[in-house]
Amino acid sequence: MDYAELLKRAQQQTQSGSKGERYAVPQFEIEHEGNKTLVKNCAKVAAQLRRSPDHVSKFIIKESGTSGEMDGNTLVLHTKVTQHTLNEKLLKYCKQFVYCSTCEKPDTSIEESGGVIVIQCEACGEEHTAPVE
Ligand SMILES: [Zn+2]
């Protein structure tokens, strides 16, 4: 078995072995254009997570330590970031702002109130807070 095959097998194991398989995080589709990174489906991913593209994009921009802006459905980052890195940041976003930390379901609503973000779980009714970015 060569390295590529090993890698493929490891990835498959990671995917099928993960606890949150049922609630798979959507994946970013990206393109590089010069020194820019285009996240082609940023608005679509935000819609799937039931979050505003603005909130998702601000988080990704900040986490990437760069500047950027939304252009239609596309998030334009002013630096080169790999797809893998961006999807890790998306996972971090989901853990912070989407998944319920009690039952781990993604059926949550989000509301800004008094300087914090309140995440209300529609599945178990728990409320969690996160700092406003
Ligand atoms: Zn819950």
Report how far residue 105's alpha carbon sits from residue 112's, in angstroms, rounded to the nearest whole number. Answer: 20
pLDDT confidence of residue 85: 97
**Displacement of CA 40 from its chain's centroid (Å):** 14
Q: Tell me the pLDDT band of 54, cut-offs 50, 70 and 90.
A: very high
**Mean pLDDT over the full length of the chain:** 89
What fold characterizes domain 25-98?
A: Defensin A-like (3.30.30)
Residue 95 has pLDDT above 90, yes or no: yes
What mean pLDDT do residues 10-20 have? 54
Beta strands in the chain (DSSP E): 30-33, 36-39, 68-71, 74-77, 108-113, 116-121, 127-131
Q: How far is the centre of ligand 1, averaged over its atoms, from the C-alpha of 44 (Å)? A: 24
Q: Which of 75, 59, 61 is nearest to 130 (CA)?
A: 59
Report how far residue 78's alpha carbon sits from residue 91's, in angstroms, rounded to the nearest whole number. Answer: 21
Q: How far is the centre of ligand 1, averaged over its atoms, from the C-alpha of 23 (Å)? A: 13
Whole-model pTM: value is 0.80
pLDDT confidence of residue 16: 46
Residue 17 has pLDDT above 50, yes or no: no
Q: Where are the domains of the chain?
A: 25-98, 103-133
Q: Which of 14, 26, 18 is nearest to 87 (CA)?
A: 26
- Residue 34 DSSP class: T
Q: How far is the centre of ligand 1, averaged over its atoms, from the C-alpha of 7 (Å)? A: 34
Q: How far is the centre of ligand 1, averaged over its atoms, from the C-alpha of 128 (Å)? A: 9
The sign of the CA dihedral 14, 18, 23, 25 is negative
